[in-house]
Amino acid sequence: MATLINGRFLAKPPSGVTLVARELTRALLAEIALMPQCDRPRIDFAAPAGHLPPLPPGFDLEAHRSWLRLTPGPRSISGEQMLLPQLRGARQVLNFCNAAPVLASRLVVWIHDAQVFDSPDSYSPGFRLYAQSMLGLMRLRRAEIATVSAYSKSRLEAHGFAAERISVTPNGGDHLQKTPPDGETLARHGLSPGGYGFLVGSRARHKNIPFAVQALLAEGPPELDIAVAGLQQAGSYEGDALPAHPRLRLLPRITDGEMRALLQGARFVMCPSLDEGFGLSAAEALWEEAPLALSQRAALPEVGGDAALYFDPQNPRDIAETARLLCLNEVRHMLKEKAAIQKKRLTWASAAQTTLTRFLL
């Protein structure tokens, strides 16, 4: 039985969810290409006009036509709902971005978190209605659900999804490694190696960026600048603005090479979320073996393991004290050693192997 991959994510604005879709697709194709030809599952990839699937390095599309076929795919929500059920026939449809064609008879859907239920104030009313309705339909359809952490699985169960229909496939964090660091990044943004703390997060309220920034500026190490990336990410987010401050650097949209340079140069990397289905920026930081401070909530302890320090994200003194601890060389060295072990658990190859075993073989 062939599997159809819903490629609408290729036409969507960049986000954490679309990054997962791209990297997981790339890793899946790489894993299948390594299999004996007789064992390879057939894949039909529904790509929007003008787009190709994310291909592994050196992947020759023509050489794999026996099991990988491209077919026209949707660019919009309406196209997703009307076109894909017709393309699907008797096949299952893999959907990586929290939504799926409701009329298709066999669905596998990546639902990354339950934040539209648990943190509804982070989203605009229109997006919240759409997302809650879509997840409600997936629950009623009893779709097969893949999610990215045990925490997300527990929250989906709390909102009525059947436990036996949910499997956990953790994300990878090694996607930045194929891009060299941009050596001019720090100078371009007025930063010095080891002279700043680095936070990554959208404007969504549950990311808790303004609260953490204010705590760091008021009570954290006074010699450090605070750099923040991700606030330019497109999305239906509602959150507080960050105040102007001479030690605060609000970065524009950054490339993968810039991200690597910023992670490598930071005195510490902090993720202060109140709710998090996984925490891609934490996984990326582990792969750079950066000193890591994580909120003790949600899925972040699953990602960081013992390779991070944890804090109460609503306690400004705890945030500031954790930042001060991460300025100690012995703490930084200890976390670097532990990150070298923890990061090996968070690879896209591992995520692809789990996906193959669970849904395609």
Which of 91, 49, 97, 46 shows the shortest CA–CA distance to 68? 46
Q: 235-271 in b/e burial notation, b at 16+ Cβ within 10 A?
A: bebbbeebeeeebbbebeebebbbbbbbbbbbbbbbb
| Core vs surface per residue 16-49: b (16+ CB within 10 A) or e | bbbbbbbbbbbbbbbbbbeeeeeebbebbbbbbe
Q: What is the mean pLDDT of the chain?
A: 94
Q: pLDDT digits over 38-52, tens only?
A: 999 999 999 999 999
Least reliable range by pLDDT among 66-70, 102-106, 307-311, 321-325: 102-106
pTM of the complete model:
0.94
Rg (CA), the chain: 21
- Tell me the per-residue pLDDT of 225-277, one tens digit each, with 9 for 90 and over: 999 998 877 677 777 778 789 999 999 989 999 999 999 999 999 999 999 99
Give the CB-side neighbour count of residue 179, counting CA atoms within 13 A: 15
Instruction: For residues 1-25, give the mean pLDDT.
Output: 94
Of 49, 162, 171, which is closest to residue 110 (Cα–Cα)? 171
Q: Give CA–CA dist 222/220, Å, rounded.
A: 6
pLDDT band at residue 132 using 50, 70 and 90 as cut-offs: very high
Looking at residues 111-138, what average pLDDT do you find? 93
pLDDT at 240: 74
CB 273 within 8 A of CB 206: yes
Domains of the chain: 3-171+347-360 (3.40.50.2000), 175-345 (3.40.50.2000)
Say if residue 88's pLDDT is above 60: no
| pLDDT of the residue at 146 | 98
Higher model confidence: residue 83 or residue 192? 192
Is the pLDDT at 128 greater than 90? The verdict is yes
Helix %, strand %, coil % of the chain (to 5): 45, 15, 40
